[in-house]
Structure 1
Amino acid sequence: MHTLIIYCHPYQHSFNHAILNAVQQNLAQSKLTYQTIDLHADNFSPVYSIEELKLYHSGQTTDPLVEKYLKLLKTAHTVIIISPVWWNSIPGMLKGFIDKVMKEGENLSHTVTRLGVQGELKNIKKCYLLTTSSSPTFYIRFFNGNGIKKIFLNQTLKQLGFQGRSWTNFGMISTTTAENRKRYLNSLQLKRFD
């Protein structure tokens, strides 16, 4: 089992990219095996084609990246998702990753039963969601509906079988100080991701 990082930000000089570097350094120093999915660097298309959508219920795909990503998810013990919060939610690229990669069927990501979705990714014992936002974290949590936690973390990922889910947001990214950014990156280099 290994750690899988899912990274979703298009700009290599973003603070999200600095978070990615800090997490990768942490895992390397901890001698943990990891792989990184960089959705933008991979040129992943989050959009369903008609051909792809026709295959949904059979668990098949026309996109080789979908097969690759699902195999990585099925062997991961820990998943670390790094993403900005855009318009109170995850970016469309990350939503498209969930839409396309999470295939219905036994030995895939989930099955649908009379009682609802049954997650098949129970091999994922820990899931860390690391986000950044322009808004303060308290605003997202208490005044904006807390959609990241309530829907993405505690509904979508839970339904897929992800266990041990936690969310950390670095808020006010546009106005914070360089010292606050450095302190946060240092904390990520010391955090245990196992």
Structure 2
Amino acid sequence: MMKKIVVVYCHPYNQSFNHAVLEQVLTNLHHQNMTPELIDLYAEQFTPVYDAEELRLFHQGKTHDPLVTKYLDMLRNADGIIFITPVWWNDLPGMLKGFIDKVMKEGEGLSHTVTKTGVHGELTNLKHAYVFTTSTSPTFYLRMWCGNAIRKIFIKVTLKQLGIKSGTWLNFGSISTSKPEKRQTYLKKCGEMTLDFS
């Protein structure tokens, strides 16, 4: 049976380098006989704001955003997850943070369960997460001087709390000054690397 992989794409411009990464990753998944299911947050006009009405409905186990229900159902029926996003101000963009806030908060008992000892993740069906990012800063700068937020917080804490036990971070740093040859080499890697969700 072919594995279903949810790809969460977070960039507003379809001519960006992030979009080129997306195309390579989708092609790669097809070549490895996996079925990608795309969540394009900007194209689908996802609203990342957790408003007062959403909070009121949360206590009834409901939501007024149909995309929240759709996305959570996709996650609960997938085998793995891939995030493709820029790094803005040394961290995830607000759009992607809003995705985590709304979809995962709405999933109380589905994406996670709050216990006396902390948050227990329910999305254990997602065997592995890949996080592809781009940044203006060099990768070593993000790791050593900016808190290493993608690896230390997003992968090792947030995703782990949701039940995703392992994750891999790949960043293309210094994007603004990178040469075309370096970009092409990275895209080739994204299109050919083994994506393991076992």
Report the secondary structure of 2:38's partner residue. Answer: strand
- 1:185 aligns with 187
Aligned length: 193
CA shift, 1:150, in A, is 1.1
In 2, distance between residues paired with 1:104 and 1:189? 32
Give the direction of change, closer, same or farther, for the CA distance of 1:109–1:57 in structure 2 (3 Å limit).
Answer: farther
In 2, distance between residues paired with 1:164 and 1:76? 15
Q: Which has the larger displacement, 140-149 or 82-91?
A: 140-149
CA shift, 1:104, in A, is 4.3
- 1:94 aligns with 96
1:126 to 122, 125, 128: 128
The Cα offsets for residues 34-57 of structure 1, whole Å up to 9 and x where unpaired, read as 110000000000012211111224
Q: TM-score, normalised by structure 1?
A: 0.96
- In the alignment, is residue 105 of structure 1 matched against residue 108 of structure 2? yes
* CA-based RMSD: 1.0
Q: Unaligned stretches of 5+ in structure 2?
A: none
Residue identity in the other structure for 1:105: E
Confirm or deny: 8 A CA contact 2:135 2:173 kept in the other structure.
yes
Aligned 1:1-194 pairs, distance under 5 A: 1-102=3-104, 103-106=106-109, 108-194=110-196
Confirm or deny: 8 A CA contact 1:8 1:93 kept in the other structure.
yes
In 1, distance between residues paired with 2:10 and 2:55? 23
Q: TM-score, normalised by structure 2?
A: 0.94
The Cα offsets for residues 37-83 of structure 1, whole Å up to 9 and x where unpaired, read as 00000000001221111122443211000000000000111101000
Q: Unaligned stretches of 5+ in structure 1?
A: none
Report the secondary structure of 1:145's partner residue. Answer: coil
Report the secondary structure of 1:6's partner residue. Answer: strand
Percent of counterpart pairs with the same letter? 54
Q: Which has the larger displacement, 53-62 or 115-124?
A: 53-62
